[in-house]
Amino acid sequence: MSQGFYELLAALSSEDNGIRSQAEDKYASINGEQKLQVLLPAIADVGLSDTQRLLGAVLLRRTITVQWDDCWQPLSANETNNVKSSLLGVLNNLVFGNVPINVVVTRKLVDAIAELARRLLEDAAELNAPNHVWPEILQFLFQCAQSEHVDVALNLILNCPSIFGPDHNKYGDNMRELLVQSMGEDKPMERRGLAVKVVCNLVIEDPDSNIVKSFQSILPQLIATVGQYSVQEENPDVLQAIVEIQETLPKFMKPATVELLQVTIQIAENRDVNEDIRTMAVESCVTLGESLPGQIRKKAPQAIEKLCLVCLQMMMEIDDDPEWAAQTVPEDDDEDLPNVTVVGESSLDRIARSLGGNTVLKCIAPQIAEFLKPEKVWQEKRAALLALSAIAEGTAKSIKSILPDLVPAMLPYLQDDHPRVRHAACNCVGQLSTDLSPEMQKMFHSEILQNLVPVLDDQCTRVRTHAGAALVNFIDDAPKSVLMPYLEPLCQKLAAVLQQHLQSTGPFMVLEQLCTTVAAVADKIEKDFSSQYDLFMPNLMSLLKATENAKVPENEDLRLLRGKAIECVSLIGLAVGKEHFLADGHGIMKQLVNTQQDINSWSDDDPQISYMISAWARLCQILGDEFHQYLPLVMGPLMKAARFQPQVKVVDPDDEEKEDDENWEFVNLGGGQSFGIASAGLEEKSTACSMLVCYVKELGGKFGDYVEEVATLMIPLLKFYFFDAVRCSAAQAIGPLISATAESKGLDAAIELWKHAFAEILSALEAEPENEIVGFLFGAIAEVSEILGKNFLGNEENTAKVFEYVGNRLTEHIERSNTRIKARTDDDYDDEVEEDLQVEDEEDSFVLNKISDVFHSSFGLLGGALLPFFEKFMKDQMVELIKPQRVWSDRQWGLCLWDDIIEFCGEESWQYSDLYLQALARGINDQQPEVRQAASYGVGILGKCGPQAAQQMLGPFVEQLAKVIEGPLGRGGENPEQVEATENAISAVAKILQHRPNTASLEDWLERFLTWLPVCEDTEESVNTYSFLANLLEYGNATAHAHTNRIIYLLTEALTSGGLEEDEEAFERVKRICGSVKDGNRELWNAVLGQVNLDRLPADLKN
């Protein structure tokens, strides 16, 4: 077979695509074991060309990587030993033989041998083998290290960092000495760079080994080598290795952060250096900032300022291009920019978010101000404006304080002479409107709109399009009250520009943007857009009519425009409501129906598809139940989009760059493998899935005919790990699907569907990597509990699993929280670190919230029967959450969980009183209102339905609550959390006064209690409080009789405050009491009417 295989190797190298393709098919048909048998002789055959031997080595490595079990496992021990000795023999001849060494062939063979060693050592480690599985390779490595062929030894270590086997620590001194020597000033630069990469790989391979710690002593030589190698060799690979080690083990570089920043900044600012090197140097700086922000803020503040300046200077490396302004076809704004310019801008964004807004703003604000001077060239002004856009999100808290100076300095550039400056100014206004909302809109609405709206007439198409986009950003995050005074003139202007471009039939990119801008106005203004409806709808209907043939290939340019028009029309309809929209609705529906009928013949990348899918969902919201008649038309294309399966493949990392399709994304899995996924179609799939959730929510039982089909699709998507948003939609669909099934097919059918869905949710919870989606999965369980009641847990096994997963997630949460607590004692801790830690706390609290929902539902339905599961899986974690050293969100949700134990387990809850009573007492006085609210609620529940043994504790609790209500933590605060916390405290006292009168008597407390009212923000506690007062009057309480006038006033006020609106029974009861006073005591009633808001008083209570 040898000769035939040699011919095959030659064909695989052919430049003729046909010959090469046939050869690839033939080679693919050979099994792994046979490949090994034919590749080894080919690599060893000195008679073959270097090209063929090189290809043989490459194919050998790939075979070992991809077909390991197929090529190696069938071999006997003798055969494997022969393969290993043959490979080392060939390499030994290449390295130490008399024939001049071919560096490329040698290196590829080293790669293959290192891959074989890696797989062998990996298998041996799984078996806990005590000895090295291939000692001969170590002997060869040391032989090379002590010769002129050090590079061969270094490449073996580079490609197989585990090559020293189970006793790697004993080789630490040898390795360190080898690497120090290899990085010596007198050594070839390629070897020095190779040594740096080896250090990085060894550290990443085993970050906890003693060897790694010893390597920190050679950081000075390593950093010096990085600087010299990168400039002289013009290769970014060493810098890339530094970036990888910073991402994996940032503490390794911590002792030398200042020196590393100095070197990499020098490389980045050197315009004589290759662009790829400079951008990788910036990446190294930014990654260091992301991994060690506190260290850099304290040790290298000057470096931050220098880095910001370097990024700004990179953003200025752009030439004037007259064709840019003439562009009328939409394209990515980065497409015509040098990569170094794009990297400079994106790096500023990351710097601001990682190093902290206050720090970065102080460094970059003077530089931006300098570049914004009128006499500066357009590149400088453009860079300054885009830098502001880039840092806005990361510096939001700090930059808001300088808005009065910033906005007047920025707005004039909307009229700059150069179109790229005007374009950048539009970008800046739009980005700041998003990142600094709503303060930006509230403070400068007049100035921004007066300067931005005229740019819709800019002579440059790209600029006026960007002005429309900036308006969308401004509108999206502006309070409706800010926009209302400008509604008329703004809509007049938009309508005029739309009319003008319709008459001139383009440019399409402007029309597309105008549709989006008009839609944004309608979406924000909602019902009040009705006054502007007739200003836009005739032109939009004409636009839909004019783009009917967008599906025809020669009219492809119309597709996006039609999609935008469809989006605009449907958003306007949603804003103005069903009654107003239906006047044109039938014509619009006819247009959409006609379009929808041909949708299956459209190309998969037709943008109309996603717009159609979203538009139908909005129409469903507009029409409500009536929409179900259109389901047969819309469900087909929607399900097709939702069923989309992305292409995936596993490739050699070296082959990634051969993939010429930019839609492929790769993740290095290690072990010589990269996982690739084609991202095209994923957004559309996500949109379709979210629309399905919309349909089933809106239509309920009328979606019944499609429940089975949609459930069959959506439930498996709980594990669609390619795209987070799809899993979110899948989790959010479960509750509505169960509800729709119960409505359309009965409770038994809903329970059957839930059995299947529940099993998949439990399985997904076990593997889900994203905290947010864990929250949605728990949320689905809680939602279904409200539909199915006591049946929702199914059986004891499922109950145990739910509590086990909740307990596991709480344990993981506590571990993350402990890490944050420890970070607050770190040397690098500062205000910027605290901001980041608080963000992480908030993200974690979302899951705690959803866990609380599940816990509340479960105990609310099943009560004390669940205590054995609580004892086994959750008790310890819940005790930990309420400890005083934990962050406030932990204490809040921990108390909420204990509140449920008290509320739903009654007498049985007293066995845990030693665990929760002290936490409740602490919580009442907590500085954080959310914690006070949870504690106050718990004390109230303890009084209302807690154990009888709690009686003796309630008196001191009432005294404690009174001090809080009347103190600075009570009515003194303005934030809603403070108000609701106080109202919970008031309601807690009401519960104790009502249900435990022997603990706190009305005679002692009622007069004081009445001074604390009203309670109206927390509607649940409002109902409880006023129901208590109603009881006192209806039951003729003697103590209350003395305060009748005050109580009647408070009850009447409750009818006007909105506090009782959500409880019809309580509202009618209070109204009945007030009505009896009106009929029986006119003097009192007239006095009350003089103190309340008559406009909100029920009509039958007015005089």
Tens of pLDDT, residue by residue over 857-901, are 999 999 999 999 999 999 999 999 999 999 899 999 999 999 999
End-of-domain residue from the set 454, 478, 502? 478
Peptide bond before 419: cis, by omega within 30 degrees of 0? no
Expressed as residue numbers, the domain containing 265 is 168-269+278-288
- For 102-116, the pLDDT digits (tens) are 788 899 999 999 999
Do 256 and 246 contact (CB within 8 A), yes or no? Answer: no
Task: Find where tokens 């009888």 sit.
Answer: 948
pLDDT at residue 1, rounded to an integer: 47
Long-range residue pairs from 164-168, CB within 8 A, at least 24 positions apart, any chain: 164/132, 164/138, 165/121, 165/124, 165/131, 165/132, 165/133, 165/138, 166/124, 166/125, 166/129, 166/130, 166/131, 166/132, 167/132, 168/206, 168/209, 168/211
| Percent of the chain residues past pLDDT 70, beyond the cut | 94
172 falls within a domain: yes
731 pLDDT more than 80: yes
Least confident piece of the model among 215-224, 409-418, 549-558? 549-558
Asked whether the beta carbons of 734 and 780 are under 8 A apart, the reply is yes
DSSP 242-287: HHHHHHH-HHHHGGGHHHHHHHHHHHHH-TTS-HHHHHHHHHHHHH
Mean pLDDT for the stretch of residues 492-513: 89
- CA dist 970 → 67, 234, 966 (Å): 70, 66, 6
Q: What are the residues whose beta carbons fall under 8 Å from the beta carbon of 126, sequence distance 6 or more?
A: none
In terms of Cα–Cα distance, which of 300, 318, 429 is closest to 380?
318
Among 402, 486, 396, 404, smallest CA distance to 432 is for: 396
> How many distinct structural domains can be found in the chain?
3
Please name every residue paired with 1026 in a beta bridge, in sequence order, or none if there are none.
none
Please tell me whether residues 343 and 400 are part of one structural domain. Answer: yes
* Closest listed residue to residue 696, CA positions, set 762, 748, 631, 606: 631
pLDDT at residue 337 in the model = 86
293, amino acid identity = P
Residues 452 and 363 in one domain: yes
**DSSP helix/strand/coil, 996:** coil
Per-residue CA distances from 393 to 354, 357, 470, 476 (Å): 11, 8, 16, 16
Say which amino acid occupies 888. Answer: W
In a domain, 459, yes or no: yes
Using 50, 70 and 90 to split pLDDT, how confident is the model at 670? low
| Three-state secondary-structure class, residue 959 | helix
The whole-angstrom separation of Cα 896 and Cα 898 is 5
d(CA 558, CA 79) in angstroms, rounded, equals: 66
Structure-token pair, residue 76: 């006997």
Asked if the model's pLDDT at residue 738 lies above 90, the reply is: yes
- The verdict on 261 and 341 lying in the same domain is no
Poorest-pLDDT segment among 674-678, 827-831, 979-983 = 674-678
pLDDT above 60 for 668: no
Q: What is the CA radius of gyration of the chain?
A: 35
Please provide the average confidence, as pLDDT, over all residues in the chain. 89
Q: Give the number of other CB atoms < 10 A from CB of residue 308.
A: 27
845 domain-assigned: no
Using alpha carbons only, give the angle 1061, 1042, 1007 rounded to the nearest 5 degrees: 70
Least confident stretch, 630-634, 976-980, 1050-1054: 976-980
Residues 193 and 264 in one domain: yes
How many C-beta neighbours within 10 Å does residue 879 have?
A: 15
Average pLDDT over residues 834-852: 86
Q: For position 327, what pLDDT does the model report?
A: 80
CA torsion angle for 897, 900, 902, 903 (degrees, to 10)? 160
pLDDT at 675: 65
Residue 237 lies in a domain: yes
pLDDT at position 219 is 93
* Alpha helices for 548-671 (secondary structure H): 558-576, 578-597, 608-623, 631-642
* Angle, helix 301-315 to helix 339-355, in steps of 10 degrees: 150
Q: For 350-361, what is each residue's pLDDT tens digit?
A: 999 999 888 999
HSE value, Cβ hemisphere, 13 Å, CA-based, for 744 = 18
Among residues 478, 498, 525, which one ends one of the domains? 478
Report how far residue 112's alpha carbon sits from residue 854's, in angstroms, rounded to the nearest whole number.
53
Taking Cα atoms as reference points, which of 19, 52, 50, 25 lies closest to residue 38? 52
Per-residue pLDDT for 654 more than 70?
A: no
3-state secondary structure of 675: strand
Q: Let me know the angle formed at the C-alpha of 1009 by 1004 and 1011, rounded to the nearest 5 degrees.
A: 125
Q: Is 674 helix (H, G, I), strand (E, B) or coil?
A: strand
- Between the alpha carbon of residue 301 and those of residues 167, 234, 384, the distances in Å are 42, 29, 21
Each residue of 373-405: pLDDT tens digit?
A: 999 999 999 999 999 999 999 999 889 888 898
- Considering the domain architecture, whether residues 431 and 470 belong to the same structural domain is answered as yes
pLDDT at 757: 94
Same domain, 319 and 253: no
pLDDT band (50, 70, 90) for residue 840: confident
In this prediction, residues 287-310 reach a mean pLDDT of 92
Give the H or E element holding residue 553.
none
CB 316 within 8 A of CB 379: yes
Looking at the structure, tell me whether residues 320 and 423 fall in a common domain: yes
Greatest extent of the chain over all pairs of C-alpha atoms, in Å: 120
Structure tokens at 984: 């919970």
First to last CA, the chain: 108
Q: Cβ-count burial of 320 within 10 angstroms (0-12 exposed, 13-18 middle, 19+ buried)? A: exposed
Residue 443 clears pLDDT 50, i.e. is over it: yes
CA distance 547 to 766: 49
CA 604 – CA 65 distance, rounded (Å):
35
Where residue 650 falls among pLDDT bands split at 50, 70, 90?
A: low
In a domain, 1095, yes or no: yes
Q: Which of 976, 980, 1060, 1047 has the alpha carbon at shortest distance from 1011? A: 1047
Is the Cβ–Cβ distance between 749 and 707 less than 8 Å?
no
Same domain, 472 and 333: yes
What average pLDDT does the segment 1071-1083 reach? 90
Torsion, Cα 97 100 102 106, to 10 degrees, reads: 20
Q: Say if residue 283 is in the same domain as residue 313.
A: no
The residue ranking higher by pLDDT, 13 or 922, is 922
**Are 431 and 311 contained in the same domain?**
yes
Q: Which of 133-147, 474-488, 594-608, 869-883 has the lowest mean pLDDT?
A: 594-608
Confidence band (pLDDT; 50, 70, 90) for 666? low
Q: Does a cis peptide bond (omega within 30 degrees of 0) precede residue 507?
A: yes
User: Is 1012 inside any structural domain?
Assistant: no
Q: Which two tokens stand for residue 93?
A: 């001849």
Q: For residue 710, is pLDDT > 50?
A: yes
Residues 438 and 409 placed together within one structural domain of the fold: yes
Q: Is the pLDDT of residue 335 over 70?
A: no
Strand-strand pairing, 664-670 and 648-651: unpaired
| Tally: H helices and E strands in the chain | 56, 3
In the numeric block, the tokens 């069923």 are attached to 643
Taken in order 803, 806, 812, 813, the sign of the CA dihedral is negative
In a domain, 144, yes or no: no
CA distances from 1100 to 217, 1043, 1049 (A): 86, 25, 17
pLDDT score at 660? 46
Same domain, 342 and 412: yes
Going by C-alpha positions, the residue among 523, 580, 569 that lies closest to residue 547 is 569
Relative orientation angle of helices 1044-1057 and 1019-1034, to the nearest 10 degrees: 150
Q: Among 433, 459, 478, which residue terminates a domain?
A: 478
For 818-839, what is the mean pLDDT?
A: 84
* Ramachandran quadrant class, 552 (left: phi over 0; alpha: psi -120 to 50; beta: rest): beta
| Confidence band for 974, pLDDT divided at 50, 70 and 90 | low
In degrees to the nearest 10, what's the CA dihedral of 70, 76, 82, 84? 50
DSSP string, 195-232: HHHHHHHHHHH-TTSHHHHHHGGGHHHHHHHHHHHHHH
Amino acid at 708: E
Rounded Cα gap, residues 58 and 54, in angstroms: 6
Confidence (pLDDT) at 14: 83
Residue 657 pLDDT greater than 60, yes or no: no
Q: How much of the chain, in percent, has pLDDT values that exceed 90? A: 60
Question: Both tokens of residue 237?
Answer: 């690979």
Using DSSP, state whether 972 is helix, strand or coil: coil
pLDDT at 70 over 60: yes
- Establish if 58 belongs to a structural domain: no
